[in-house]
Amino acid sequence: MFPIYKKELRTYFTQMMGYIFLAFMTILMGLFYTMIVLMSRNANFQGVLANTTIFFLFLIPILTMRLFSEEARHKTDQLLFTSPLTVTQIVMGKFLAALTLFLIAAGITVIFPLMVSRFAESMPVSRIVGTYVGWILVGVCCIAVGVFISVLTENQIVAAVGTFAAIFAMFLMEAFAMSMPTSAFASLVFVGLIIVGVVGIWFNSTRNIISSVIVAVIGIAVAVGLYLFNNLIFDGIIVRALLWFSIYSRFDSFVLGILNLSDIVYYVAFIALFIYLSINVIEKRRWR
Amino acid sequence: MIEVRNLTKVYGQHKAIDQINFTVDDGEIVGFLGPNGAGKTTTMNIMTGFIAATSGEVSINGLDIVSQAEKAKAQIGYLPDTPPVYGDMRVDEYLNFVADIKGVKRSTRKKMLEDIKRQVRIEDMSRRLIKNLSRGYKQRVGLAQAMVGYPKVIIMDEPTIGLDPKQIIEMRDVIKSLGNKQTVILSSHILQEVSAVCDRVMIINRGKIVASDTPEKLSATLNRGNNRMQVTVKADKQSILKALAEYPIIRNVDAQIGREPGTTDLILSGERDDTDIREFIFRCMAKHSLPILLMKSTELTLEEIFLTLTGDVRSGPTGYVQSITSANDDNNNSDYYETDDADDETDNDTTDKTAQPQDATGQEQDQDQDQAQPGGEDQ
């Protein structure tokens, strides 16, 4: 894992991407720092952080777009995947390199609150620390999604646009989820569609029509059974499912300085899920 | 020792490789020979664990490439068809990175990398960015990468493609020197190249191994020296055919109007494989005062070898692998038999079908079938 990590980190600074990312991040933070803190004479640095999360939209794709796409395009993935390293080590090495660069950027921005603290009479330290934790967690979630999308394509541009779209969708997810129907029947249809989707993936990987049909029939029967037995549990399931992907909606409590364990667990689970998916997509592609 | 058993890879509806079986002994240099799309790269990608087979097994020194992937991969150095180099790294950085991922110990690394660089002649390139290197040097860096850690097995996909003639000779020397210590498997679609370096050649076509033997025996079998001649005669086709009819020992394989006006180009072969027909051709033509303008022995081109071999595979039952063997015992690894008990009868049928006058190898195969042990396996 460490050789991959080292190589990726090095590549960020031989291919400009690292510099571009750090420069953009610092400029944006500086801009918002000037507007929110300096010009309004307000020590609430957490406002700067909260306002800059939207820029992950295009900052994170810079970090993640080339991670796997470029290896596939230059066929260097043949070296990595035929080496004694495991896929997990390769994915983790790359993910941690992106994470490190992101943390370097976060580290640089700490200068701003430090400057404010020199002059401010009262600093909302707990809120700023909380916001930093949330800001980093949201950023790392975006990186995990970016790594996953980079695994899916050989084309860097497609990876960048895909990551942009995915983060954009997560940003809008809360508003989108709220407009979904909450009736139990709509939820049943939604669950049915998910079962069909899962069975489709199952069939695609096993090519076994009998087991796929059995799984589909059992799944749908259980869903319908639950619906007839107690349809309350279906209430608002669409909204709950979609909100799971709304990484920004949990950010607000961090801005208030509240480190909620369930939120942290949520973010860690979200990151782990996408890393796991990345590893499995690669394994799947190679072992079929 | 590499063992490949019943390897099959299916892409959608297309069978890229179909029930391939072979073993490679330690220290052997084996060449895969085949036209584009024959399944060489697919086989190599599966052997190195880059892609998975649909069915079948590969074991490297007893380690399964799927279930014991990390240990098995540690025994292999792989040079794919495109050298897997990072353009933004310097040669030294790159080789160090490869040493890192292969887990080469720091204490032995420096000397090892120096040795490898000397062997593939890239010592002067250590500080150069790989993206600025020529195709040939990139290929050598790719080979150096495969050699890092001195793996027991080195697998190379078209190692000399894109190199100039001097580099090709150098590359061959390197490959030969590897064969002393390491097992080498390489692929190529150039017959000369494989025969220059390999102890054994496997001809792959349409995903099947159609022949496996030493290069000498393969070419001896397939190019029967003075048995098959290209002749240009200054006469029309009719009178030549009439003259040839008196000499049943000569078979007219092919006749067509020659490039020069008034001439006919012929491909003639002997009735038996060991006959030298040059003299008969002369006597035949001289008797009828037909001037011979040109006579030279035709070596079967790779394409013709393939046409011959693949013709057999298509007419034979599925899974039937035609073996070209010879009684010469100077090389233990040279003989490769693979015939199924059940196929014995059908084999003979196949041979009968192919022993047409047009098929120059028909007779040879007949003998081969006799030599092949019934139900014989890898020897």
pLDDT tens string A97-108:
999 999 999 999
pLDDT at B299: 63
Report how far apart, in Å, the C-alpha atoms of B299 and of each of A1, A254, B15, B222, B353 are: 53, 80, 32, 8, 23
pLDDT, greater one: A187 or A21:
A21
Average pLDDT over residues B16-39: 86
Q: How much of chain B exceeds pLDDT 70, in percent?
A: 75
Q: Do A84 and B86 touch (CB under 8 A)?
A: no
Q: What pLDDT band is residue A61 in, cutting at 50, 70 and 90?
A: very high
CA dihedral B293, B298, B304, B308 (to 10 degrees): 110
**For the segment B61-90, what is each residue's pLDDT rounded down to a tens digit?**
889 888 888 889 999 999 998 899 999 899
Residue A87 reports pLDDT greater than 50: yes
Average pLDDT over residues B212-226: 68
Q: Which residue of A has its CA nearest to B84?
A: A76
Q: Do A77 and B84 touch (CB under 8 A)?
A: yes
A77: Cβ–Cβ under 8 A, 6 or more apart, which residues?
A: A68, A71, B84
pLDDT at B312: 44
Asked if B133 and B141 count as a contact pair (C-beta separation under 8 A), the reply is: yes
Q: Do B50 and A288 touch (CB under 8 A)?
A: no
- Chain B partners within 8 Å of A68 (Cβ): none
pLDDT at A273: 93
Residue B313 reports pLDDT greater than 50: no
pLDDT at A288: 52
Average pLDDT over residues A122-137: 88
- Chain A partners within 8 Å of B63 (Cβ): none
- Chain A partners within 8 Å of B45 (Cβ): 78
Q: Which of A79-93, A111-125, B292-306, B347-361 ranks highest by mean pLDDT?
A: A79-93
Q: Which domains, and CATH codes, for chain B?
A: 2-75+152-221 (3.40.50.300), 225-297 (3.30.70.260)
Lowest mean pLDDT among A34-48, A202-216, B282-296, B345-359: B345-359
Residue type, A69: S
- Chain B partners within 8 Å of A76 (Cβ): 84-86
Provide the shortest C-alpha distance from residue B108 to chain A (in Å): 17
Q: How far is CA B212 from the centre of its chain?
A: 8
Q: How far apart are CA A94 and CA A8, in angstroms?
A: 6
pLDDT at B146: 92
Contacts 24+ apart (CB under 8 A), A265-269: A267/A137, A267/A138, A267/A140, A267/A141, A268/A137
pTM above 0.95, yes or no: no
Q: What pLDDT band is residue B322 in, cutting at 50, 70 and 90?
A: very low
B377: Cβ–Cβ under 8 A, 6 or more apart, which residues?
A: B337, B338
Residue B3 reports pLDDT greater than 60: yes
Q: Which of A71-85, B165-179, B355-369 ranks highest by mean pLDDT?
A: A71-85
Average pLDDT over residues B160-166: 81
pLDDT, greater one: B222 or A94:
A94
Mutation test of the interface with chain B: which of A2, A82, A204, choosing the one with the most B Cβ atoms within 10 A? A82
A275: Cβ–Cβ under 8 A, 6 or more apart, which residues?
A: A91, A92, A95, A144, A147, A148
Q: How far is CA B30 from the centre of its chain?
A: 8
3-class DSSP assignment, residue B206: coil
Hey, what are B148's tokens? 């890092």
Report how far apart, in Å, the C-alpha atoms of B126 and of each of A232, B95, B111, B144, B265 are: 70, 9, 14, 12, 56
Q: Do B84 and A74 touch (CB under 8 A)?
A: yes
pLDDT at A247: 81
**Mean pLDDT of chain B, nearest integer:** 76
Q: How far apart are CA A239 and CA A241, in angstroms?
A: 5
Residue B361 reports pLDDT greater than 70: no
Residue B18 reports pLDDT greater than 70: yes
Nearest by CB to residue A83, choosing from B51, B89, B102, is B102
Average pLDDT over residues A210-221: 85
Q: How much of chain A exceeds pLDDT 70, in percent?
A: 98
Burial of residue B235 (CB within 10 Å: 0-12, 13-18, 19+) is buried
Q: Which residue of A has its CA nearest to B8?
A: A288
Nearest by CB to residue A82, choosing from B50, B100, B103, is B50
Q: What pLDDT band is residue B308 in, cutting at 50, 70 and 90?
A: low
pLDDT, greater one: B53 or B37:
B53
B139: Cβ–Cβ under 8 A, 6 or more apart, which residues?
A: B83, B159, B160, B161, B162, B163, B167, B171
Q: How far apart are CA A264 and CA A257, in angstroms?
A: 13
pLDDT, greater one: A240 or A155:
A155
Q: Which residue of B has its CA nearest to A72?
A: B84
Hey, what are B149's tokens? 């850690």
Phi and psi, residue B255, nearest 5°: -135, 135
pLDDT at B225: 57
Lowest mean pLDDT among A60-64, B130-134, B178-182: B178-182
Provide the shortest C-alpha distance from residue A101 to chain B (in Å): 19
pLDDT at A24: 92
A-B contacts (CB, under 8 Å) = 70
Name the DSSP letter for residue B128.
S
pLDDT at B326: 32
- Chain A partners within 8 Å of B49 (Cβ): 81-82, 286
Average pLDDT over residues B275-301: 82
Average pLDDT over residues B293-300: 77
Which ranges in chain B belong to alpha helices (H)? Answer: 40-47, 69-73, 91-101, 106-119, 135-147, 165-179, 191-197, 215-222, 237-245, 278-287, 302-315, 344-354, 362-371
- Chain B partners within 8 Å of A77 (Cβ): 84
Residue B370 reports pLDDT greater than 60: no
**For the segment B96-105, what is each residue's pLDDT rounded down to a tens digit?**
999 999 988 8
Which residues share a beta bridge with B188?
Answer: B33
Interface of A with B in 80-139 (CB under 8 A): 80-86
A31 close to B (CB below 8 A): no
H or E element, residue B255: strand B250-257
**For the segment A160-196, what is each residue's pLDDT rounded down to a tens digit?**
999 999 999 888 888 888 887 777 778 888 888 888 8
Crossing angle of helices A87-109/A2-14, nearest 10°? 50
**DSSP state string for A94-141:** HHHHHHHHHHHHHHHHTHHHHHHHHH-S---HHHHHHHHHHHHHHHHH
Residue type, B241: L
Phi and psi, residue A32, nearest 5°: -70, -35
- Chain A partners within 8 Å of B48 (Cβ): 78, 82
- Chain A partners within 8 Å of B74 (Cβ): 84
pLDDT at B373: 40
Q: What pLDDT band is residue B309 in, cutting at 50, 70 and 90?
A: low
Q: What pLDDT band is residue A275 in, cutting at 50, 70 and 90?
A: very high
Q: Which of A86-90, A126-130, B9-13, B306-310 ranks highest by mean pLDDT?
A: A86-90
pLDDT at B221: 65
pLDDT at B357: 41
Q: How far is CA A287 from the centre of its chain?
A: 26
3-class DSSP assignment, residue A73: helix
Lowest mean pLDDT among A115-124, B156-165, B218-227: B218-227
Q: Do A78 and B71 touch (CB under 8 A)?
A: no
Residue B321 reports pLDDT greater than 50: no
Average pLDDT over residues B354-360: 39
Q: Do B87 and A74 touch (CB under 8 A)?
A: yes
Q: How far apart are CA B375 and CA B341, in angstroms?
A: 5
